[in-house]
Every structure is written in C-alpha cells, then in structure tokens.
C-alpha cells in the first residue's frame, strides 16, 4: 500500500471522505431548510397580498357605489321616476355592506387607521344625504329643495372628501402591494443566490469527494495488485516447496522399499543360512544324545522348537518387509495369504474378494496396492473396534480398485488431514505417485470406514522399484 494512503480502520471509510459526506448532507439539509423557510414566507406574503387586493377591491367598490348612488339621486330628483329611487336604495345597501367589509379588512392596518376613521365619519355624513332621498315622498314641492341640497357646496365637499379618502387609501394599498412584491423579489433573489451558492459548494464537495474516491480506489487497486503479486509469489513458493516435499516423500518411500528389500535379503540369506545350520547341528546332537542322555536330548528338542519359532518369526518379518510372494505369485495370492495371516494373528475375520485376473500387475503398482491394504488393515486392528473387515480387489474399466471396508466405529472426518496421520499420508503419497486417487470415508449409514484406492492399469512410477526379491524361506 502506498505510504501516503490514509489510515482507516477495517470496514470504515477514511475520515476525510466521511467528513465530506457529512458536509454534503449538511448542505443539502441547509438548502432544504432555507427553501422551506422561503416557501413559508412566500405563502404568508401571498396571503397578505391577496388581502390587500381584496381591500383595494372593496375601496374601489365603495367609490363606484357612491358614484352610482349620487347619479341615481340626481336622476330621481330631476325625473321623479320610481326606478331611480329603487337604485338609490340598492346602492345605499351595497355601500353599507361594502363599507363594513372594508372596515374588517383594514382595521388591523396601523397606517390606514386614521384614514379609515375619517372615511367612516365622512361616509356616514354622505350616506345621511343619500338616505334622506328615499324617505321623502315624490311631492314636486320638495324636489327643488332636495335638488338644491344635493347640489350644495357642503354636499359636494362631503362627496369629494369621501372620494379623496378612498383614493388615498387605495394608493396606500397599492404601495403595500408594491412593497410586498419588492420584498418577494428580494427574498426570491436571495433564495436563488443561496441555492446557487449551496449548489456550487455541493458540486465542489462532490468533485472533491469523487477525486478522493478515485484516488482511494486507485490505491486500493494498487494494494490489491501488490497483494496479488505477493500471493502469486507465495503460491509459487508453496507449489515449489510442495513439489520438493512430494519428491522427497516419494524418494523416501523408494529408499524405504530398497532398504526393506535389502534387509529382507540379508535376513533370508545370512540369518536364514545361520538358522538352518544351527537347526541341523542341534538336530544331529539331539539325535545322538537321545539314547545316552535323554534329559539333555529333551532340552535340545525344546531348543529346536524355539529355533523353528524363530525361523517362523524371520519369515513373518521378511513377509512384512517385502513379501516374496508378490513377485513369485502375484498381488492376488499375496493379498489372500496376508488376509489369512491377518485373521490368524488378530482374530478379526477378514474376507478377501479378489479378481483373479489381476494377478500379473506392474511390480510398482502391486507393491503400492499391497502397502495400502497392509496399512489399512493395521489401522482397522488398532482403532476400528470392528467385528469384520472386507478386502476387495477388482478391475473397473481401465483401472484397478482396491477397497478395505470395516464395520467399526468409523473414521473422523478430520483424521485424514491431521499432520500426524503418517500412515494415511503414506498411503496417499504411494497412490499419488501413480497418479491415482485415494479416498478415506465413512461407510454406508455412517458406520465403519472405507479406504479406497483407484489406479490406472497403465500407470507406472517415475523411477523403477526394486524387483529382485528373495525366495520364501522353507520351514524345517
């Protein structure tokens, strides 16, 4: 990993990237909060503007209602038509209602308080002038008087005062709308600038975040590439060492077989000759003393029995080191004799199911299969607590299959992989050097153990096995 890489705890992002993520989240939350405040303020401003426009509408309606009432009054005074008098009454009712609505809208406005009070007083006086008209009858003697009153300076001043107040109040409301619009525009511009600023900051932060992620990704890829190269180098070394150990193991097996052959030869030739000579001499002396010294003759006869047991022990040792029957009689007969001897020595019944056509096998293949069977049967006697064991040898296609099956407690799943399982490892190495397969597993139903070796009939070892064996010693 590069020296300038940021330290980070396993499973955590570097502190700088975490801070940038938090900064982006804070900016986004701040922008959302600012937008919410702006929208809330815009909603209140819109409601205020709507109320202002409603007040303007009511004030304008007051102006038009007042003008219509004046016009209807003059028409009635000049023409005396009943319809004009109905219009005066209708406009007065509308004027009263509109004035009440305008008062409700404007009473909370401090800047309109004085104008509103003056409007109420002036409008009341003007309404009194208009209200006097419907209360009068249509006598012609009064029209001239009412017409002169309607056209008097005082009436005109009251009308002008009402119109002037309404114009002033409408102007104030328009100013209020303009002020609200200006405030909305200013807030919108501020919100836009804030949004642009936050967006720019967020964009810069994202760019920095992207660059940091890209840099960390490159560092990670570089570290992974370095680790992969290291792993490949280690794997190459492991493969080389494994090949060396495998070669050494096979060499040790070959050396062991050679030494066993040499030792068996020495035991057969030297020890066998000596034991044979001793046997002949002791037998001769025993026969000579049988009549003259029966006591010593009996002791010599007992010594001959011990000597015969020693010869039999020598034979079993030679068979264990390198059975001579393997080269003289073949693998099938050697396995059958070994199964019989195994049953005799251990008391454990061993059934040999052997394919007679496999008697003539390559010596290296024959000794490897014999050693596997020998080791497997030894393990059964030591550990399996079995009541029966089956030794099977058969041809399957172009392969030969050897199986040792017992009905004991069964092998542990981890046992074949334990470092100290030398016997199992030795079986695996012997079959491996013949490019075969060895499997060690529990039997059907989880009971017992099955040791199975499968080797091609045309497979041979890298180096030749010793093939010269001593002949089996005859018992005398």
Decide yes or no: CATH 1.20.120.1730 for domain 15-220: yes
The predicted-structure confidence for 38-80, as pLDDT tens digits, reads as follows 888 888 888 888 888 888 888 888 788 877 777 777 776 666 6
Strand, coil or helix: 75 = helix
pLDDT for residue 210 is more than 60: yes
Please say whether the beta carbons of 66 and 163 come within 8 A: yes
Cα–Cα distance for residue pair 21/15, rounded to 1 Å = 10
Q: Given a cut of 70, is residue 187 above it in pLDDT? A: yes
Q: Is residue 104 predicted with pLDDT exceeding 80?
A: yes
Q: What is the pLDDT of residue 350?
A: 94
Strands 449-456 and 437-442, bridge-based pairing: antiparallel
Q: Please tell me the predicted confidence (pLDDT) of residue 4.
A: 47
Choice between 254 and 285, residue whose per-residue pLDDT is larger:
285
List the chain domain ranges: 15-220, 327-467
437-442, strands of its sheet edge to edge: 350-354, 389-396, 399-406, 449-456, 437-442
Q: Tokens 């004027």 — which residue?
A: 95
Measured between alpha carbons, how far is residue 162 from residues 60, 63, 99 in Å?
12, 8, 12
Contact 431, 395 (CB under 8 A): no
pLDDT score of 222 more than 80:
yes
In angstroms, the CA 467 to CA 341 distance is 24
pLDDT by residue (tens digit) across 406-448? Answer: 998 888 766 666 654 677 878 888 888 888 999 998 888 778 8
- Residue 388's alpha-carbon distances to 19, 116, 335, 402, in angstroms, are 73, 121, 16, 17
Split at pLDDT 50, 70, 90, the class of 185 is confident
Asked if 406 contacts 384 with a C-beta cutoff of 8 angstroms, the reply is: yes
**Nearest-5° angle of CA 83, CA 89, CA 94?**
125
- Amino acid 451: pLDDT: 93
pLDDT band at 162 (very low <50, low <70, confident <90, very high): confident
Q: Return the CATH class of domain 327-467.
A: alpha beta
Which of the residue ranges 20-34, 291-305, 410-424 would you say has the lowest mean pLDDT? Answer: 410-424
Look at the pTM and tell me if it is higher than 0.85: no
Burial class (CB in 10 A: 0-12, 13-18, 19+), 345: exposed
Identify the pLDDT of residue 79: 67
Instruction: Report the chain's mean pLDDT, rounded to a whole number.
Output: 78
pLDDT band at 207, cuts 50/70/90? confident
Residue 354, pLDDT above cutoff 80: yes
Task: Answer yes or no: is pLDDT of 450 > 90.
Answer: yes
């Amino acid at each position: 990993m590069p020296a300038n890489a940021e330290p980070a705890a396993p499973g955590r992002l570097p502190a700088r990237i975490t801070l940038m993520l938090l900064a982006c989240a804070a900016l986004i939350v701040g922008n959302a909060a600012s937008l919410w405040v702006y929208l809330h303020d815009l909603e209140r401003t819109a409601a205020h503007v709507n109320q202002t426009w409603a007040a303007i509408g009511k004030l304008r309606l007051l102006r038009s209602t007042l003008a219509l009432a004046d016009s209807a009054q003059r028409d009635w005074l000049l023409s005396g038509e009943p319809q004009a008098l109905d219009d005066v009454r209708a406009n007065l009712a509308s004027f009263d209602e509109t004035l009440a609505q305008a008062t409700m809208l404007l009473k909370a406005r401090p800047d309109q308080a004085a104008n509103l009070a003056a409007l109420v007083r002036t409008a009341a006086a003007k309404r009194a002038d208009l209200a006097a008209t419907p209360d009068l009858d249509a006598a012609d003697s009064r029209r001239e008087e009412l017409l002169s009153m309607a056209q008097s300076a005082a009436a005109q001043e009251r009308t002008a005062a009402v119109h002037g107040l309404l114009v002033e109040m409408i102007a104030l409301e328009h100013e209020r709308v303009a002020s609200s619009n200006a405030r909305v525009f200013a807030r919108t511009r501020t919100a836009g600038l804030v949004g642009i600023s936050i967006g720019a900051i967020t964009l810069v932060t994202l760019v920095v975040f992207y660059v940091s992620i890209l840099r960390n990704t490159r560092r990670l890829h570089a570290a992974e590439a370095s680790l992969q190269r290291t792993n490949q180098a280690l794997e190459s070394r492991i493969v080389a060492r494994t090949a060396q150990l495998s070669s050494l193991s096979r060499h040790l097996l070959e050396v062991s077989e050679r030494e066993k052959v040499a030792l068996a030869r020495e035991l057969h030739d030297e020890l066998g000759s000596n034991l044979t000579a001793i046997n002949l001499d002791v037998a001769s002396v025993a026969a000579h003393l049988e009549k003259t010294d029966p006591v010593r003759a009996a002791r010599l006869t007992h010594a001959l029995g011990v000597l015969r047991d020693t010869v039999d022990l020598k034979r079993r040792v030679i068979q264990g080191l390198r059975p001579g029957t393997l080269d003289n009689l073949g693998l099938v007969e050697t396995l059958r004799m070994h199964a019989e001897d195994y049953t005799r020595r251990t008391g454990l019944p061993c059934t040999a199911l052997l394919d007679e056509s496999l008697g003539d096998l390559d010596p290296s293949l024959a000794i490897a299969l014999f050693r596997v069977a020998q080791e497997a049967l030894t393990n059964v006697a030591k550990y399996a607590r079995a009541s029966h064991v089956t030794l099977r040898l058969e041809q399957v296609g172009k392969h030969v299959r050897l199986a040792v099956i017992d009905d004991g407690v069964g092998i542990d799943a981890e046992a074949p992989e334990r470092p100290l399982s030398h016997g199992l490892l030795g079986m695996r190495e012997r079959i491996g050097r013949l490019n075969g397969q060895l499997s060690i597993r529990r039997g059907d139903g989880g009971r017992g153990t099955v040791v199975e070796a499968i080797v091609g009939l045309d497979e041979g070892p890298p180096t030749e096995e010793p093939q010269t064996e001593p002949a089996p010693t005859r018992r005398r």
